[in-house]
Amino acid sequence: MIKLIAIDMDGTLLSSDRTISQKNKSVIAKALTLPEVSIVLCTGRPATGILPYLEELQLTDKDEYVISQNGAYIFQSKTKQVLAEKVLDTTKLSEIVELAQKHHIGLMGVGEAACYSIAMVPTDMMVLEARIVDAPLIELSLEEALQTKFHKLLFIETPETLDAFEQILPQTWRENFYIVRSQGNLLEMMNQGINKAEALKELGDYLSIPLSSMMAIGDGMNDIEMIKEVGYGVAMENAVPALKAIAQAQTSSNDNDGVANAIVDWLQLEKE
């Protein structure tokens, strides 16, 4: 029996215009009426980019939880009480900034309520990303950044430029950090051991819900761990091939009510 449904946001719950379809809203509302079923938004977004959607889904009236920053930050949807928070290790920040500057890659730190341009003038893409997640963009020197709390770093550039940049990342970075391409123009860096599956396990331990009793719906590389580890993993039609390859089921695209259709399909399976 599924007791928790984890839903990614960008490319999954949200349509291409970053809205939630009426069908997605209706089906999620119906799922919330089911006994012992929790709805958990599970996203790379910071809290600022999630709160308006919580209100739209009426999750601010419920005792539900939200996993943000790809698992680095977990909070309660109604009270905003923080259940877990993992702050980025910045001991290699000087080295990271130097490589980003050398290859002209935008570098942004992301905290609970703000985005930060680190030791560089914000690019247009950085400004847009901060606007998308409804967060202020604050410029920091390297010295200031070393004293600031981040949950993750974002490398922001065109997909082709990030493809090349990924190939030259030092192996020690991959050993010390979880590095994942969440979108074509975003490469994310968090502490090693942080991902959506680990956050779901932590939340599940708190709620006494095992991963095997969870359903997850996603589309990107940062969804792979949770789709692989939960009891019922669903890939969007627009998901990356690697995610489709490990998912137990596939639903329609984010522009065609994929989340709603996945939940309805699961409900039908439960009745069989």
**DSSP symbol at 10:** B
pLDDT at 272 over 60: no
**pLDDT (average), residues 165-175:** 94
Helix 22-32 vs helix 258-271: crossing angle, to nearest 10 = 40
List of E strands, the chain:
4-7, 38-42, 65-68, 73-76, 82-85, 106-110, 115-118, 137-140, 152-156, 177-183, 186-191, 214-218, 232-235, 249-250
Report pLDDT digits (tens) over 116-126.
999 999 999 99
Q: Please report, to the nearest 10 degrees, the dihedral formed by the alpha carbons of residues 112, 234, 15, 110 taken in order.
A: 20
Q: Please report, to the nearest 10 degrees, the dihedral formed by the alpha carbons of residues 201, 203, 208, 213 taken in order.
A: -50
pLDDT at 145 over 80: yes
Instruction: List the one residue out of 38, 92, 47 whose CA is nearest residue 68.
Output: 47
Reported confidence tier of residue 1, pLDDT bands at 50, 70, 90? confident
pLDDT confidence of residue 223 = 97
Report pLDDT digits (tens) over 31-65.
999 888 999 999 999 999 999 999 999 998 888 99
pLDDT at 270 over 70: no
Q: Which residues of 43-59 are buried (b: 16+ CB within 10 A; e: fewer)?
A: bbbbbbbbbebbeebeb
Encoding tokens for residue 111? 């905290």
CA 74 to CA 193: how far, in whole Å?
A: 15
Instruction: List the one residue out of 233, 238, 268, 272 whose CA is nearest residue 5.
Output: 233
CA-CA distances (angstroms) from residue 43 to 175, 217, 227?
A: 23, 11, 13
pLDDT confidence of residue 70 = 96
Compute the chain's Rg from CA coordinates: 18
**pLDDT (average), residues 235-258:** 97
pLDDT confidence of residue 151 = 97
* Percentage of the chain lying above the pLDDT 70 cut: 99
- Please identify which of the residues 8, 10, 219, 223 carries the catalytic annotation: 8
Reported confidence tier of residue 18, pLDDT bands at 50, 70, 90? very high
Active site residue 255: no
What does the mean pLDDT of the chain come to?
A: 95
Count of CB atoms situated within 10 Å of the CB of 101: 14
Report pLDDT digits (tens) over 201-235.
999 999 999 999 999 999 999 999 999 999 999 99
The three-point CA angle 148-174-183 to 5° equals: 75
122: part of which helix (H) or strand (E)? none
pTM given for the model: 0.94
pLDDT at 271 over 70: no
